[in-house]
Amino acid sequence: MSSTLFFSEQLARLCAGSPPPGGPPATEAALREVVQKVEQGEKLQDSDLCVLLWAQPEAATVEAIERLAHRVKEKICGRVVSLVIPQYLTSYCQNECVYCAYRVSNSDTPRRRLALSEFEREFRMILDWGYRQVELVLADDPEFPAERVASYVRLARHWMDRAGGGKIAVNGPAYQGAQYRRLAEAGLDWLALWQETYQEDQFLKWHQVPSPKAHFRFRLDALDRALRAGIGQVAPGLLFGLADWRLDVLRLMQHCRYLEEQYGKPPYALGIPRLKPALGSPASGRPSRYSVSDLQYRLALAVLKLAVPQSRLFFNTREPLRFNRQVLCGGNLFTVDCATFPGGYLDPTQAGQFRTESYGQREELVRTLQEAGFVMEDYVPPEPALAAAGRLSGEGSV
């Protein structure tokens, strides 16, 4: 493991070393050659990935690449699907991300910080629902520093262990290494941090100075700092719709390769959200030259499955259930319940960070996935008498 190299340096070399890929769509012969490499178990190079990404996004081509990707991924991961649920801590934010309802200048969105006692009550309710993987999500709130987040992680770890064990993640601002060390010591299992876009010029258009998030390189190197601080797993990602999606997917795959080479393991998961309308943020709902169609999105997801088959794509309720069922295969993360406001499970009437889809009853959807041959991970079917029996409701808060 290198103690000095950061991904920002690697990305600078990649950008300087060759012009951005592009040009006419790949030929059928080039596509067949890449498919043959995959079937023979060869590792795909950047040039191979570009052939797939710049393929003509026609339905038949995308479906063929999807079928191949699902075969490869399920050969490695089986039919396991890991359930994960987000739990929001604060909607106060000091950033000006023009696509986000929580941006500092947005007076239309309600604000709330979840008190530790409220968090504990909601977290235990989530455990009673059967979840054993919880993603703690927070905006960049100056009154919610990493030290405070660590106290929430510590409490979550206490109750998760009492429930038999599980995974705790954080998805929030980029921190310094010492702050990540506090989260690791509190019991954090993995860290999610989406770069949003790897194209700095576009990044600065969407994340306006003087927002702390506007520091492109500081955010880009956050996963290096987290791993060196002792956090066991990380999850990079991007937000589709901010910039050229093909180039962003290529850079994300290069980031994944760098992390595996430097730290000896592929990323735990990959963030793959697509830009959706958000309250008080007109830019998030306007079509643009960077809007990503369903077919283009499916192609991107298939290429990611081929390029980083051991990492879990993070499917969530930004997309309709029918779409997610179409692209879901084994070896991925899946969200069923999704409240995007602090305390949103305690009070489901609150508006959230962005528009989400309703997936209906949790138990029914889990049963449908199981009937389709998927094996649920990080989920324990809830027992009706669980809370009454006191298995999770005894004393012992920390």
Give tens-digit pLDDT for 271-285.
999 998 888 887 877
Kindly state whether residue 7 falls inside one of the protein's structural domains.
Answer: no
| Residue 10 counted as domain residue | no
Q: Are 214 and 173 in contact (CB under 8 A)?
A: no
* Crossing angle for the helix pair 146-162 and 177-186, to the nearest 10 degrees: 20
* Phi/psi of residue 144, nearest 5 degrees: -130, 65
Q: Is residue 51 part of a domain?
A: no
pLDDT band for 19, please (50, 70, 90 cuts).
low
Confidence category of residue 348, pLDDT binned at 50, 70, 90: confident
Residue 397: pLDDT over 50: no
Q: Is residue 48 part of a domain?
A: no
CB atoms within 10 A of CB 351: 17
Query: Tell me, what's the pLDDT at 360?
Result: 75
Dist. CA 44–CA 18, nearest whole Å: 18
Mean pLDDT along residues 315-323: 91
Q: Into how many domains does the chain fold?
A: 1
Mean pLDDT over residues 8-20, rounded?
A: 85
Q: Which tens digit of pLDDT belongs to each residue from 127-136?
A: 999 999 999 9
pTM above 0.75, yes or no: yes
pLDDT tens digits along 53-106? 998 878 999 999 999 999 999 999 999 999 999 999 999 999 999 999 999 999
Domain boundaries, position 70: 57-379
Reported confidence tier of residue 395, pLDDT bands at 50, 70, 90: very low
397 is a domain residue: no
Token digits of residue 265: 């393991």
pLDDT per residue as tens digits for the range 357-372: 677 788 999 999 999 9
Find the mean pLDDT for residues 42-54: 92
Domain contains 35: no
Residue 209 in domain: yes
* pLDDT tops 60 at residue 139: yes
Burial 39-57 (b: 16+ CB within 10 A, else e): eeeeebebebbbbbbbbeb
pLDDT value at residue 284: 74
Residue 146's CATH number: 3.20.20.70
Q: Has residue 307 been placed in a domain?
A: yes
For residue range 157-194, what is the model confidence (pLDDT) as tens digits? 999 999 999 999 999 999 999 999 999 999 999 999 99
- Name the residue among 44, 54, 59 with its Cα closest to residue 20: 54
Question: Average pLDDT of the chain?
Answer: 91
Contacts of 50 (CB under 8 A, 6+ apart): 21, 26, 250
Residue 47 has pLDDT above 50, yes or no: yes
* Res. 383 pLDDT band, cuts 50 70 90: confident
